[in-house]
Amino acid sequence: MNNSDTFKEKMTSWVGKFAGSRFVRAIMEAGYSVIAFSIIGAVFLILQVLPQAFQIPGFASLYANTLGRFANLFQVAYNSTMGLLALIFAGTFTYSYTKIYRDEEHLNLNPLNSLLMFLMAMFITVPQLVWKNGSVQFVQSLNKDNIIGGGYSVSVSGITRIAAVGIFTGLVVGWLTVQIYRFTIKHNWSIRMPDAVPAGVANSFSALIPGFCVATVVSLLNLLLVIGGTDIFKILYIPFSFVSSIADTWWGFLVIIFLIHFLWWFGIHGATIMSSFYTPIVLANMAANVKGANNFFAGDPMNAFVIIGGSGATLGMAIWLASKAKSVQLKEIGKAELVPAIFNINEPIIFGLPIVYNVRLFIPFVCAPLASGIVGYFAVTSHFVHKIIVQQPWPTPVGLGGAIATTSWEGAVLAIICALVAFVVWYPFIRQYDRELLKKEQAAEQK
């Protein structure tokens, strides 16, 4: 076995273990849970931004006299989805994380109890507190740009810390909640009721001691930080903000794209692995965009502008295979992949060409999405195309996904341009590969 094979095996084993870890699996479940709420919120957001999306003479006035009358109601509906994102995302994570421990360690853990304990712990971190005159006091601020009443920072988007900016804090609090709950149950720190007691009553008492431990630990941690001039939310927001800033740079974005495809080349679902890291970032950035920021790495830029047709940005290549390939193998794969590629699904190509472990196709597989990513990034950050304010469903077809994400026709055009750019990178490599396979097929027929 050579060093290359050893490296492949070690890489596959390590990343496979990471992807299968309880924490990552729970995060992925949380990511799925957000999709429906983000789409619901997007619908009401689109109703609010129609004048910006359709800058037609007279439309703004028509909107103001019709749907515009209900703009605040649309905002309330949006706040009830995206404005609760930290609770939805981290709450689902906590529920799923607890369920995984219950099933795999055979512990008497109740996921619903864990979710409720998380909500309690999370709201301990939400109010802004300050140590003043020897006591803990609520922060009060009535400044126009920073309204805080009774410690709660609010805006037209609702309570600030339970929105997208609180996702990372929610994940840490959720993880801590599950670990404390798990510790108390493993050490029998719970009140057990007789079998004759109804299940609902028994569950409420079984959560009493774990819940008290969770509240005590989180409160003490927060108290120590408040005395030190900060709090749990602020201290956790520092690394989140730092990583978020890096991810939103052009080079940070390209690193993420590279890692997704580098992992895929080993047969590991790179998009799943990397999205478990960046999902909190893109959701927070999207919420910030709605409020006036201009982040590119928001919502789902990957499926809107980068990996159109699936990882590797293979839509154009799939169309070429189905219509122009000479080898039977590639032509049949192209026909099988053509429809799935329209919806950003391309496992038939990744494993059928194959791309996995195929040295001939490594360069275009990595460079095509890097090229489309560069085009998409600079088009949005240079304001040629509207910023992303909606998270479109990932299977949304090319063009439509870009239009929904940016609520503009320019987004649709950009998506098509990105797909064409990716195909330009793919073309010389896939054409040469097709020729090689055709020669092999012809040689096999002559034997």
Who contacts 412 (Cβ-Cβ below 8 Å, separation ≥6)?
399, 400, 402, 403
pLDDT in tens, the chain (447 residues): 555 556 666 766 776 677 678 988 898 888 778 777 877 887 888 788 777 666 677 888 888 888 889 988 988 888 888 888 889 999 999 999 999 999 999 998 999 999 999 999 999 999 999 999 889 999 988 776 668 888 888 877 788 889 878 888 999 999 999 999 999 999 888 777 666 666 666 666 778 899 999 999 999 999 999 999 999 999 988 887 877 888 889 999 999 999 899 888 877 777 877 887 788 888 888 888 888 889 999 989 999 999 999 899 999 999 999 999 999 989 999 998 888 888 888 888 888 888 887 888 999 999 999 999 999 999 999 999 999 988 887 788 888 999 989 988 999 999 999 999 999 999 999 999 999 999 988 888 876
| Cβ-count burial 377-410 (b if 16+ within 10 Å, e if not) | bebbbeeebbbbbbbbbbebebbbbbbbbbbbeb
Give residue 195's pLDDT: 64
- Of 111, 240, 72, 58, which Cα lies nearest the Cα of 164? 240
Note whether 343 and 385 are within 8 A (CB). Answer: no
Q: Which residue has the tokens 């803990």?
A: 136
Kindly state the tokens that stand for 106. Answer: 């055979």
- DSSP letters, 69-107, are GGHHHHHHHHHTTGGGHHHHHHHHHHHHHHHHHHHHHT-
Note whether 236 and 161 are within 8 A (CB). Answer: no
Distance (Å, rounded) from C-alpha 281 to C-alpha 243?
8
Give residue 178's pLDDT: 97
Q: Which residue has the tokens 């990744």?
A: 350
Distance (Å, rounded) from C-alpha 426 to C-alpha 94?
42
The pairing of beta strand 141-143 with beta strand 146-149? antiparallel
Q: SS3 letters for 287-331?
A: HHHHCCCCCCCCCCHHHHHHCCCCCCCCHHHHHHHHHHCCCHHHH
Give residue 214's pLDDT: 96
Q: Which residue has the tokens 């194959």?
A: 354
Give residue 5's pLDDT: 59
Other Cβ atoms less than 10 A from the Cβ of 255: the count is 15
Using CA atoms, how far residue 233 sits from 23, 170, 177, 278, 290, in Å, is 21, 9, 15, 19, 22
Burial class (CB in 10 A: 0-12, 13-18, 19+), 171: buried
- DSSP letters, 19-31, are HTSHHHHHHHHHH
Give residue 173's pLDDT: 96
Note whether 164 and 92 are within 8 A (CB). Answer: no
Distance (Å, rounded) from C-alpha 416 to C-alpha 411?
9
Positive or negative torsion for Cα 108, 112, 113, 119: positive
Give residue 159's pLDDT: 86
- DSSP letters, 204-255, are HHHTHHHHHHHHHHHHHHHHHHHHTT--HHHHHHHHHHHHHHHHTSHHHHHH
Using CA atoms, how far residue 36 sits from 40, 84, 298, 396, in Å, is 6, 13, 17, 14
Note whether 344 and 307 are within 8 A (CB). Answer: yes
Positive or negative torsion for Cα 78, 81, 87, 89: negative
Distance (Å, rounded) from C-alpha 280 to C-alpha 287?
11
